Amino acid sequence: MDALVLLGSFVLLMAIGMPIAYCLGLASLIGAFWIDIPLDAVMIQLASGVNKFSLLAIPFFVLAGAIMAEGGMSRRLVAFAGVLVGFIRGGLSLVNILASTFFGAISGSSVADTASIGSVLIPEMERKGYPRSFATAVTVSGSVQAILIPPSHNAVLYSLAAGGSISIASLFVAGIVPGLLMGLTLAVLCLIIAKRENYPKGEVIPLRQALKICADAMWGLMTMVIILGGILSGVFTANESASIAVVWAFFVTMFIYRDYRWRDLPKLVHRTVKTVTIVMILIGFAACFGYLMTLMQIPLKVTAFLTGLSDNKYVILALINVLLIILGTLMDMSPLILILTPILLPVVKLLGIDPVHFGMIMMVNLGIGLITPPVGTVLFVGSAVAKLPIGVVTRACAPFFAALFLVLLAVTYVPALSLWLPRLLGL
């Protein structure tokens, strides 16, 4: 009955349209009253939930990504990707996927990826003879890579939701191979569609111009080197790499590229602060919700229920995948990570599944949810950029959903994809 009161009040509040963060907070208060827990204890959990040093990485990574997104980085990354793959048949779709790979390794955000890459490439692909719906589908599906490729904000949230017991560096490195596999799978699909539909080839860029484009893009790509190189070499932590990335992004944008105006900088910082504030409120209320779930022994009950269905870990993983896919279509990614990790992690640990591996499974599942109606944030952004109805974009995404599900199966049932590189590096 306790669990029904907590979870039922959360679902009811969400059903009437209340923001997820407030649903978590009010449901926690209702649950505390129900089991007669002092409100002081709930408030302590709220404060301790956001009073974590590791959370500093989130605002710094968000700010670095925002500076690079609005400072001309996306345009230069598109040009750089065009040098590498633009001359192939259907090359602009490959440029889109590759630019999303590069930009995801800088911003860590699928929404920022879709907005920046899409605003450049969707009109260009349409001008070159690609259907606008196809161009939008490529953009939104390619942006899911940003969920996996470091620096992923959601990897930081997963580490936090797991109680800080999982290294952020391990999660960052674990996402590299699955992220690249996702990009490769989408690229192969684009090549097949391009050949079938006879989409145009791009032009080979002259050597002198290509060298200039590459040199121009390298300044921005150094952000990726700073973030990953610093963490993997042990020179600095994830928090330190994020703060250094902000300094580097600011330097490149304002003094090298000089496409961004100084007077617009306060507005950018204001938008970043608003984004981070929303995330921090969500984290604080999720900490309260998780505390109540622990007191009510909900994780133990879920573990007993799932292990009672089967003792085969592959069957349990299939059930968890179905659950995550369904919930991912109904809720945004961040609250789901904060709510479900404390519930599902004990289950997978009992079955002998590595928590880092499970983190990648969760990321891929919920990343697919970002481009799936009815609550697909990235899908909405892509539709808005392309000025197309949601239904049109969703239909165009059908083959890309199939490709992403293949990647999900590979990541779920081939743990080495996630664990090989962290173990190789001793993380």
Ordered DSSP codes for 276-319: HHHHHHHHHHHHHHHHHHHHTTHHHHHHHHHHHH-S-HHHHHHH
Give the global pTM: 0.85
247-277: buried (b, 16+ CB within 10 Å) or exposed (e) per residue?
ebbbebbbeebeebeeeebeebeeebeebbe
Q: What's the token pair of residue 61? A: 């990574």
Half-sphere exposure of 55 (CA within 13 A, CB side): 17
E strand or H helix that includes residue 165: none
Largest CA distance in the chain: 73
Q: CA-to-CA distance for 111 and 279, rounded, in angstroms?
A: 15
- Are residues 157 and 283 in contact, defined by beta-carbon separation less than 8 angstroms? yes
Residue with tokens 């481009």: 371
In tens digits, what is the pLDDT along the chain, a chain of 427 residues? 777 888 888 888 888 878 878 888 888 888 888 888 888 888 888 887 777 777 777 788 788 777 877 777 777 877 888 787 777 887 888 888 988 888 877 777 787 788 878 888 888 888 888 899 999 999 999 989 988 888 788 888 898 888 878 888 889 889 999 999 999 999 999 999 988 888 887 777 888 888 888 888 888 778 777 777 777 777 777 777 778 888 888 888 888 888 778 888 888 888 888 878 877 888 888 888 888 887 887 777 787 787 777 788 898 999 999 888 888 887 778 888 888 888 889 888 888 899 999 999 999 998 898 888 877 788 888 888 888 888 888 899 999 999 999 999 999 999 999 999 988 887 7
Q: CA-to-CA distance for 427 and 418, rounded, in angstroms?
A: 12
First to last CA, the chain: 42
Residue with tokens 């079938």: 196
- Are residues 169 and 232 in contact, defined by beta-carbon separation less than 8 angstroms? yes
- Are residues 10 and 296 in contact, defined by beta-carbon separation less than 8 angstroms? no
How many domains, the chain? Answer: 1
Residue type, 172: F
Listed residue (249, 218, 236) closest to 65, CA to CA:
249
- Are residues 53 and 156 in contact, defined by beta-carbon separation less than 8 angstroms? no
Domain that holds residue 415: 2-424
